[in-house]
Homo-oligomer: A and B are copies of this chain.
Amino acid sequence: MTAQPNESQPGRPGRALPDTQRGMRRRNLSRVLHAVGAEGPLSRAGVASRIGLTRAAVSTLVDELIRSGLLEELGPERPSRVGRPGWALALSTHGPAGIGAEVGVDHLAVCAVDLRGTVRSRAVRYGSNRGRSPESVIERLTGLVRRVVAEAEAEGLWPAGLAVAVPGLVARDARTVVRAPNLDWHDTDLAALFPSDVPLTVDNEANFGALAELWLGDGTPSDFLHVSAEIGIGGAVVVDGRLLRGTRGFAGELGHVPVWPDGPECPCGGHGCLEQYAGEKAVLRAAGLEPGEDRVGVLAGRAAEGDENVRRALREAGTALGIALTGAVNLLDPEAVVVGGALAAVAPWLLPSLREELSRRTAGPACPVSASELGPQGPLLGAAHSVIRGVLDDPATVAERA
């Protein structure tokens, strides 16, 4: 996914290149940026040899990218290199920033990431959003966004887009929250509530978490199933390096896969859904703990101390996850399962029973299951990076706005 749909943007006024020529220029701008991003710092000659264009063509593209603030020149390359030294190019640390935001059930978070992927500013506000109106939650979130943007601007950055992660189902329009049961939001058009003048994208937190895993994870394959949790349990499916979105945009819903079909009733209308066994509330209840702040931290702490009730509750949650994942792995045949979000913090006590259940229920070698190293930061980072990816994939659009 990209943060901004670019195709509908008009070209720069007065510059009426034919479609194919303009398309080629846009693609080449992106290739230059990706080359510098992946292997930089690089000289113009270094870029030219990597992407197979002439030095002159690359210089024109580089000049445009420098003018738009997407590339910066670091100074002459080390003289030890062969030939006349060039000026090393790097992705700008004073150019566009991706603004990521997260609406959690119990917190709000915002961060700004620069083109190199460095988090430059961050703000978090704790407090329950459950049952609060979308208007008041977005008002608070807007306050945090303003603060983070102001800090980023003070460092010379400017916001290229805002991507918001929510714990619910988002329509394919990338702005409407169709259903967020733990917030009690329904058919909420977030774009209408945001005073933002930058392009806005809304997506499910598990989707952004999966993208973060794909882009930032260590050795994450391009086909995997991402399981994420905050209060509910979300999932996301990545196939060939792309999110599987589904007809309505709802693909990846793992929380309401039936585990024990005659089990307790679930607010979704079903019975015995995964959330009834591995959702936070269910695990806390099984562990004999009361809901409260930083519940997952409490669970992890107690489990580390050897609290047998907590460990048993997490083992049982792992078993339920293993049953639900057996069906998912059979259907999707992914290369790996990555467990992220809040679940990552309790992975040492959750994963053994999960792996055992999955392994004994699937023929052949079991699908590897690992815990995300990004943990609860995944969705926020994925959101911010999705904006940056959008810029790297089509720099022409922001160059035209710069």
Contacts and interface: CB of A to CB of B under 8 A. Distances in A.
A1 to B, nearest CB: 15
A335 interface: yes
A323 interface: yes
A333 B249 contact: yes
A16 interface: no
A119 to B, nearest CB: 32
Contact of A244 (B239, B257, B261, B335): B239
Contacts of A179: 363-364
Contacts of A335: 247
Interface string A361-378: 111100000000000000
Interface in A166-200: 178-179
Interface in A231-276: 235, 237, 239, 244-254, 256-262, 268-271
B257 A333 contact: no
A331 interface: yes
Contacts of A323: 258, 261
A246 B332 contact: yes
Contact of A334 (B178, B246, B268, B333): B246
A127 to B, nearest CB: 27
A399 interface: no
Contacts of A269: 360-363
A263 to B, nearest CB: 10
A273 to B, nearest CB: 8
Contacts of A253: 330-331, 333
Contacts of A361: 256, 258, 268-271
Please report whether the interface of chain A is mostly helix, strand, loop or mixed according to DSSP: loop
Contacts of A250: 330, 333
A271 B361 CA distance: 7
A252 to B, nearest CB: 6
Interface in A299-357: 323-324, 326-328, 330-335
Contacts of A205: none
Contacts of A328: 327, 331
A235 B335 CA distance: 19
Contacts of A261: 259-260, 323
A270 B362 contact: yes
A150 to B, nearest CB: 39
A266 to B, nearest CB: 9
Nearest to A266: B361
B332 A251 contact: yes
Contacts of A259: 261
Contacts of A364: 178-179
Given A361-B269, A361-B271, A330 B247 contact: no
B363 A256 contact: yes
A342 B250 CA distance: 30
A280 interface: no
Contacts of A178: 364
A223 interface: yes
Given A260-B260, A270-B361, A364-B179, A251 B331 contact: yes
A209 to B, nearest CB: 16
A395 B70 CA distance: 46
Nearest to A359: B269
